[in-house]
Structure 1
Amino acid sequence: MKTSSASESTPNNMVLSFLRIQSTAVAAAVPVSRNLRCIPHERDALLDFRAGLIDPENYLSSWQGKDCCQWNGIRCSNRTGHVVELSLSFTNVGFPDGQMSSSLLGLKNLRTLELSSGKFTGTPILEFIGGLKNLRYLSLSSAMFGGRVPPQLGNLSKLLHLDLNGLSWDSYIYSADLAWLSRLTTLQYLDLSLVNLSKVIDWAHVVNKLPSLVTLSLSGCGLRNVIPSPGHINLTSLEYLELSGNEFSSSSVGTKNLFWDLPSLLHLGMSVCDLQGSIPQNVGNMTSVTRLDLSDNNQTSTLPTTFKKLNNLEESSPYMNSINGPIAVLLERFPAENRLQDLILFENKLTGNLPSQLGHLRNLTTLMLSDNLPTGELHTGISALRKLTELWLDSNNLEGPRFPEWLRSQNDMHVLGISNTSIVGPIPPWFWVTFSGTQHLVLSRNQISGLLSPTMFRKMEADTMDFSDNCLIPSLSFLSLRSNLFSGHIPQQISKMKQLQYLDLACNNISGIIPESLAELIAMAVPPQEDGPLSHMVDCGLSIDVIDVVSYTDSSLVVMKGQQLEFTSGIVYMVNINFSCNSLTGPIPEEIGRLPALKNLILSWNHLSGIIPDSIGEVPSLESLDLSHNNFFGEIPASISVLTSLIFLNLSYNNLTGRIPSGNQLQTLSDRASIYIGNPGLSGPPLSKNCLEPGLTPATPEAHKHGGDTVFDFLAIGCGYVMGLWIVFCLFLFKKNYRVVCFLISDGLYDWVYVKVALSRAFKTWKKV
């Protein structure tokens, strides 16, 4: 999409090049003397000019020695040696005190003066510039000049190029009277964009007195049509006219007579000009125009019938208006034989079906019809647009009973936006091949269904892909979202990922229950194969609106057996569910037994409750089971003892009761006592606590009749405590190794407590969020 702006470079590069050559007046016919040096008084004038400048980039370091013709930014005549050009554009030079030296008046033969994009913060455009009578080329744009445009510039009667574009955050340039401009009758290029001309009432009459103008840019000047424009138009050479960002209206005399009757015009920019009503019929008089920008106005009617005369039109941009009526009528206004490349009509009120006339615009490369009111199907007439590279049909009332087949012929599409167009059904296989080179692909807010395979994404080279708000099911085998800030429940849609083999949602703020539908993850029900889904490792990140798929070929970190392990090729055989460090509640679903290939189940640090289901014994491949730090109660199911593959088990810090089941596999686990710690109701090996025998009753008050003896017990304990501290103190005093070990243990204990507290606070914060 192309849009105009106040600082947009004009298409008249050849004209500008000609002006620059003409302004320097290079005379190659006369031999050049090797001993020729610049004129001494001109050198002195330049040095005096430099003395008042700041030069942060040291651009003027070459300004020394006798031959000023060799200095940066200086050009001399090959014939006379006089300085004919001074160019300091884009050099950041400026005046620290806001004063420009008038010594430049000594350069009587100067023809080009360029100070664009300098740092002349607030410095007025000084009147003495009007004394440089031989200037052909003057550019002071974007140089932070401020104040009034001096009318003395009207003395530059030989000027061909004048650029005072005020585009700058640090300056304010204005003119209340443009009478001086009418004296520059040889002017071919004029740019006063963003110069405040809101008080000028006769601007149309002034510019009409410049018959040589080829380029005129008056964007954002606050212009208004307050008096009738001239009856006779002298701007017969004008090719480029940019008037965007002013306050015209279609009913004014000026817009009817001045802007639309220019037969040589190639470019007309009138966006954001408060144009109302309809485009006048005499727009057809601009038979040479190639670009017409009428965007962001208040026009309501369709294009006039005289639009058919614009055979050379390449871009039409009446977007962001209120143009109404059938889209078929609008398309009929374009000539049968046309050069139109860009048709930009978004945010209007066009209605009706997409007609077959679309196919007549065979040179179209960009078509934007978003945010209108067309109905019916996505018409096959678009398939005739073989040069189309950018298509936007978003947010319309179009119907798509199936994926539009005509898109199959659009092999050169770079941008495709067909969101919110009621497309239903799956994405066909040819789509991924046809649009493999697309840069921006937007298919959101439709009813597209089916699987979204990572192999499809690997074929794409798009910078942006948006498939949000559809019915697509990501076909993933590896999904890791650990250590984020995700909240809410575990979505039921996960169960539809039939290839999902590795699922890690640990360390988030996910709440709710573990859905029973996880039993439908059929890839966890069969043993993984060497050439299975994870043989092409893909690590995916999901958000509400975006699916971001990244090819992953490096190693992967997996939490298993109570520690973090690094997997490379072995990840192919990993079948994993990790929901640890969340806020899940409720029981473990019985359906967990329907995932017999599961190797790693980690549900620790949640708020899960209920009994541990017997079906856990129906997962024979289970190697690592961590249910610690939850609220499970009841007895440990005996079925756990039949898990012959079990290598790691952690049931600590729950409310489990009863006798610990025995079994050969459970006897092989390391550090067995720590598996059950924090469950005061458990008994039996490997714990030292025995079960309560039948008939035992709680202690009676009589059992405490000797309670007075406890005084002596406490005294004995206190003495032993003091003696123990004394022994430890002596050991630390004389045994350095003991001190080191003790401090290491205490540091480790401190770190452990700190991490636990930090995690607890983080979880509370996430819950509040």
Structure 2
Amino acid sequence: MGGTSLQFLLTLVLLFLCMKPTTANYLGLADTHLGCKEHERQALLKIKQDLIDDDRHLSSWSSDQDCCTWSRVTCSNQTGHVIMLNLQGVGSGKLNPSLIELKYLTDLDVSYNDFHQSQIPEFIASFSNVTSLDLSGANFGRNIPFQLGNLSNLQYLNLGGNNFNKPENIEWLSLLSSLEILYMDDINLSKVNNWLHVVNKLPYLTYVHLDSCNLPNIFSVPLVNSSTSLDVLDLSSNNLTSSSSVLEWLFNSNTSVVELYLFENQFQGLIPIAFSKINTLAELGLDSNEFEGEIPKAFGGMCNLKTLSLPLNHLSGQLGFIHNSTHCANHSLEFLDLGQNQIMGSLPDLTTFPSLTFLDLSQNRLNGTIPESLGKLSNLESLYLQGNSLEGVISDAHFSKLTKLKHLYLSNNLLNFNFSSDWVPPFQLNEINLRFCQLGPRFPKWLQTQKNYYWLDISNSAISDSLSNFNLVFPPQLGYMNLSYNQISGQIPNLSLEFTFPPIVDLSSNKLEGRIPQFLFESGYLDLSKNLLSGPISSLCEVQNGKLNILDLSNNQLSRPIPDSCLMHFEGLLILNLANNHFHGKIPSSVGFLHEIVTLDLGNNNFSGKLPSSLKNCTKLVFFNLKQNDLSGQIPMWLGISHPNLVVLILRSNHFYGAIPTHICHLAHLQILDLALNQISGSMPKCLNNLTALTQKVSPNATISHSHETQVSDNTLFDMSYDDRMFFMWKGKEHEYKNILGLLKSIDLSSNNLTGRIPREIVELVGLVSLNLSRNRLTGQITSEIDMLQSLDALDLSQNQLSGGIPSSLSHIDRLSVLDLSNNNFSGKIPTSPHLDTFKATSYEGNPNLCGVPLPKKCSGEEIAQNPAMNRSREHAGRQDEKEGLISIGFYVSVALGFIAGFWGVVGTLVLNMSLRVAFFRFLNNFKDRLYVAISVNLARVQRQLQN
């Protein structure tokens, strides 16, 4: 019996070995070491030769190895033929025609390479066995070859993210009868009116992604019922409107869509109730459209809906659909995003959605308190309620069962946090944003229990505690920390740690003191401004391989010289602001290593010596401020050559001497030039009209802002932004400008030793808002073309040696609210106009030969001898007029002058509000004409009565 059994077993084994290879492979008996075919290996090596593989993704491809063992190559276990080739993200180059030798390919991926906008090779259409073809993001160009329609076995096709010409015909797609998944994102299909008709011809199509395709709104083909059974339809970012045939097709077809994405289009009006009739719908994305009104209450009965995403619309009303939700809908909904709308009312009881994991109602108009029932949503992971008008007390009960909570955003509300002192949260948060919430005056102890966060914002939260009372956690995974605008005191602990990613750290506007620990300089963005920090910054100099992009240490008490080599490790630094400290010594020459720097602010320190020539290497500078230091020497010519992007140049209050180099005129983008309070001599350059930005009335931006994208976690990129700011002398007072700095266009050359005439070319700077040439030795006259400076708000030419008459054209500058021509040699009569008459005598005093209003000195011919008898006669006539209900001449004149002076007082407050001031002066010009007419009529009437 045993021999018979053994014989039977051997027979069975032989039988299996004789089976088809596919069966043997299933049982694990196939030969898995057949080795690749020689001609296919040679083809692969030729393909490698035409690819630039800088990162050595194909390093295993060697002529003396079996190609089936190479990375990114998969061979058939039965035949040894190459069946899968993955060249995703290798690099650049071209596809070698030897690729056609791989005739048994079923899966080809060449995505995310750079093929320099070459056309897709037509030989790809010869792979009759291919079922998956990914050509996305490979920088292919020209026309899409219609021969791709020959790939009758193709199930997956991705052509998205390339640079093809606008196709006029995509009928070849209808030949792909086996196609299930189609991606054509970012292909311009604006000329293809029958795209929907083509899609309808594909019976097995389940996934369609036509994101950012410029799809036409109206189609030239009749809307027939679809023969497809779509699971996913993505038509986002196509500028589709409510009149589009897409919605009509969608609502009337036989499709059973599970995921529908229509965000970033232009759909308007009410959200169609018909969406709720798509019973299979599980995900609906209508973000960034123009829908308005309330969310249809019928949405509360969608039993399969898991995701409802409607942010960035114009939705209003209250959340009625929540109260209308059926039992099945309550348990299905997991993701609800209604952020950035205009939804009003109180926050409803959301415990009706026990499956909810994501809730975003941020930046709406919700008011009232947050119900404690929110704390019962045990599945909730993300809660975004920031930017509303919610108020009241937040207690332990609001978080009682939120064990899965990871993201908490409650900022910009009127919430007062009041937890028991020993409360330990049931969660470990990744993101904490409680800006403008009332957390203080003490540090919240519960925050010390959070060890896993990478995002923390508790700025403006009324904390006035010392760091010694708070175990401030800087976790290694920290990406963003903002504790600014509190009253936090004490010293920053000196920790020894390394960050996973260079974090953004903002501890500004507090009362921190002591030295800056070295580990903070490992940040990507560090703002410690407006504190009480002191001592040297030697810890900055000890940083190796610095990753800092933005560093602001301004408005502290930092001192000592900066070592000459201190900045050499910060090649990527974009912003360096050390203003308003006590640094002294020379500007370190290592500043020349900051090749990417756009803002360098060293103002209000005690730096001395000449400007280091290495500054020539900082060619991307936009904002350059060195005011109020002890710097000396001539203004270097390279300042106007090496920094073509300069918008702000401030050398005020130093000891620079010599002439203004004409190379300054090369700065076409310059909007603020301040060389005041130096020892600059010579004449003003005539080429100032080459400052192109000042010859234009319009400013491109209100702020001078810089942004830089940085990674703050494994899956989060954050756009860091920094707005330049500066203190600027305006109308005799120093003001800090930030949000409107970009609107300020100014030249200040005051308090120097400039001589000669004011060049006529300066009137071509029609965008100038402020011009200050005071306290120099300028001579000559004011040009009669001064009225070309229609944007001028402040003009100061005082304390010079200017002569001649004051041109009447000065009165044509309607915006002028500050004028100082005092202490010159002007002569003649001051021009009269409703505008100039509003300025006080101080604007003209110190000019002995000037006369007229508002100076007490009358001009020749203005003093008329008064006859006492005539005066008595006029007094009698005046009294008679009053009896008859008439008003005197003096009354009308007083009314006119009082009105104009009063309104010009209002104008004095409108310094930089351009549009408001323009509208005002247009009104004033029209009104003053009517006022003159009224006064003239009444004067004539009074005079006639006096003569009678």
Q: TM-score range by the shorter chain?
A: 0.5 to 0.7
1:60-99 → structure 2 map (5 Å cutoff): 62-65=61-64, 68-92=67-91, 94-95=93-94
| Kept after mapping to 1: 8 A contact 2:486/2:510 | no
Distance 1:346 1:376, change over 3 A: same
Percent identity at matched positions? 31
* Structure-2 residue corresponding to 1:112: 107
Q: Which moved more, 1:317-326 or 1:252-261?
A: 252-261
Counterpart among 405, 419, 433 of residue 428 in structure 1: 419
* Structure-1 residue corresponding to 2:354: 362
**Distance in 2, Cα, partners of 1:93 & 1:136:** 25
Counterpart among 216, 227, 237 of residue 245 in structure 1: 237
Distance 1:403 1:43, change over 3 A: closer
**Distance in 2, Cα, partners of 1:412 & 1:34:** 46
Distance 1:109 1:464, change over 3 A: closer
**Distance in 2, Cα, partners of 1:367 & 1:34:** 51
Q: Which moved more, 1:287-296 or 1:83-92?
A: 83-92
Partner deviation per Cα, 1:44-73 (whole Å, 9 max, x = no partner)? 544554454444326165342595545444
* TM-score, normalisation: structure 2: 0.45
| Kept after mapping to 2: 8 A contact 1:452/1:474 | yes
* TM-score, normalisation: structure 1: 0.55
Q: Once the 2 structures are TM-superposed, how far is the Cα of residue 466 of structure 1 from its aligned partner?
A: 2.6
Counterpart among 349, 364, 367 of residue 372 in structure 1: 364
1:434-449 → structure 2 map (5 Å cutoff): 434=425, 437-449=428-440
Residue identity matched to 2:344: T
1:557-568 → structure 2 map (5 Å cutoff): none
2:351 counterpart SS class: helix
* Structure-2 residue corresponding to 1:19: none
2:93 counterpart SS class: coil
1:468-483 → structure 2 map (5 Å cutoff): 468-477=459-468
**Distance in 1, Cα, partners of 2:379 & 2:402:** 8
Residue identity matched to 1:91: V
| Kept after mapping to 1: 8 A contact 2:106/2:129 | yes
| Kept after mapping to 2: 8 A contact 1:345/1:369 | yes
* Structure-2 residue corresponding to 1:128: 123
* Structure-2 residue corresponding to 1:458: 448
Distance 1:230 1:451, change over 3 A: same
* Structure-1 residue corresponding to 2:672: none
Counterpart among 251, 260, 270 of residue 262 in structure 2: 270
Instruction: Provide the aligned length of Structure 1 versus Structure 2.
Output: 484
* Structure-2 residue corresponding to 1:59: 58
Structure 1 residue runs without a partner (length 5+): 1-24, 480-490, 505-539, 565-578, 583-604, 607-766
Counterpart among 158, 180, 201 of residue 153 in structure 2: 158
| Kept after mapping to 2: 8 A contact 1:191/1:217 | yes
| Kept after mapping to 2: 8 A contact 1:261/1:283 | no
**Distance in 2, Cα, partners of 1:200 & 1:267:** 24
| Kept after mapping to 2: 8 A contact 1:228/1:254 | no
**Distance in 1, Cα, partners of 2:335 & 2:285:** 11
**Distance in 1, Cα, partners of 2:377 & 2:198:** 45
Matched, 1:320 2:320: no
Distance 1:51 1:306, change over 3 A: same
**Distance in 2, Cα, partners of 1:456 & 1:549:** 27
**Distance in 2, Cα, partners of 1:469 & 1:310:** 42
Distance 1:261 1:393, change over 3 A: farther
Counterpart among 345, 349, 355 of residue 352 in structure 1: 345
**Distance in 2, Cα, partners of 1:257 & 1:349:** 30
1:592-631 → structure 2 map (5 Å cutoff): none
1:679-694 → structure 2 map (5 Å cutoff): none
Superposed CA RMSD in Å reads 4.3
Higher relative contact order (CA 8 A, sep 6+): 1
1:423 counterpart SS class: strand
Q: Which moved more, 1:153-162 or 1:457-466?
A: 457-466
Distance 1:109 1:418, change over 3 A: closer
| Kept after mapping to 2: 8 A contact 1:26/1:77 | no
Distance 1:120 1:406, change over 3 A: same
**Distance in 2, Cα, partners of 1:260 & 1:449:** 57
**Distance in 1, Cα, partners of 2:439 & 2:458:** 9
| Kept after mapping to 2: 8 A contact 1:250/1:256 | no
| Kept after mapping to 2: 8 A contact 1:408/1:431 | no
Distance 1:197 1:581, change over 3 A: closer
Q: Once the 2 structures are TM-superposed, how far is the Cα of residue 310 of structure 1 from its aligned partner?
A: 2.3
Residue identity matched to 1:443: L
Q: Once the 2 structures are TM-superposed, how far is the Cα of residue 252 of structure 1 from its aligned partner?
A: 2.0
Structure 2 residue runs without a partner (length 5+): 1-19, 471-483, 493-504, 520-531, 538-555, 560-581, 584-733, 737-948
| Kept after mapping to 1: 8 A contact 2:431/2:455 | yes
Q: Once the 2 structures are TM-superposed, how far is the Cα of residue 272 of structure 1 from its aligned partner?
A: 0.4
Distance 1:467 1:70, change over 3 A: closer
| Kept after mapping to 1: 8 A contact 2:404/2:427 | no
Partner deviation per Cα, 1:317-353 (whole Å, 9 max, x = no partner)? 1111111111234552565543111111111111122
Residue identity matched to 1:460: Q
| Kept after mapping to 2: 8 A contact 1:328/1:355 | no
1:253-652 → structure 2 map (5 Å cutoff): 253-258=245-250, 261=253, 264-329=256-321, 331-332=323-324, 336-356=329-349, 358-400=350-392, 403=395, 405-424=397-416, 427-429=418-420, 433-434=424-425, 437-452=428-443, 457-461=447-451, 462-477=453-468, 542-544=507-509
Q: Once the 2 structures are TM-superposed, how far is the Cα of residue 213 of structure 1 from its aligned partner?
A: 1.0
| Kept after mapping to 1: 8 A contact 2:21/2:30 | no
| Kept after mapping to 2: 8 A contact 1:290/1:315 | yes
| Kept after mapping to 2: 8 A contact 1:210/1:234 | no
Q: Once the 2 structures are TM-superposed, how far is the Cα of residue 82 of structure 1 from its aligned partner?
A: 3.8
Q: Which moved more, 1:40-49 or 1:386-395?
A: 40-49
Residue identity matched to 2:299: F
Residue identity matched to 1:465: L
| Kept after mapping to 1: 8 A contact 2:295/2:319 | no
Residue identity matched to 2:434: L
Q: Once the 2 structures are TM-superposed, how far is the Cα of residue 407 of structure 1 from its aligned partner?
A: 3.3
Distance 1:541 1:163, change over 3 A: closer
**Distance in 2, Cα, partners of 1:414 & 1:35:** 49
* Structure-2 residue corresponding to 1:27: 22
Q: Once the 2 structures are TM-superposed, how far is the Cα of residue 33 of structure 1 from its aligned partner?
A: 6.0
Distance 1:48 1:314, change over 3 A: same
**Distance in 1, Cα, partners of 2:485 & 2:430:** 32
| Kept after mapping to 1: 8 A contact 2:127/2:151 | yes
Distance 1:282 1:457, change over 3 A: closer
Residue identity matched to 2:448: R
Residue identity matched to 1:118: N
| Kept after mapping to 2: 8 A contact 1:251/1:276 | no
Q: Once the 2 structures are TM-superposed, how far is the Cα of residue 249 of structure 1 from its aligned partner?
A: 1.6
Larger Rg: 1
**Distance in 1, Cα, partners of 2:485 & 2:363:** 34
Q: Once the 2 structures are TM-superposed, how far is the Cα of residue 141 of structure 1 from its aligned partner?
A: 1.5
Q: Once the 2 structures are TM-superposed, how far is the Cα of residue 295 of structure 1 from its aligned partner?
A: 0.7
* Structure-1 residue corresponding to 2:180: 188
Partner deviation per Cα, 1:238-296 (whole Å, 9 max, x = no partner)? 21222211121223222222268565322211110222222323212332222221111
| Kept after mapping to 1: 8 A contact 2:382/2:406 | yes
* Structure-2 residue corresponding to 1:18: none
2:215 counterpart SS class: coil
| Kept after mapping to 2: 8 A contact 1:328/1:352 | no
Distance 1:309 1:150, change over 3 A: farther
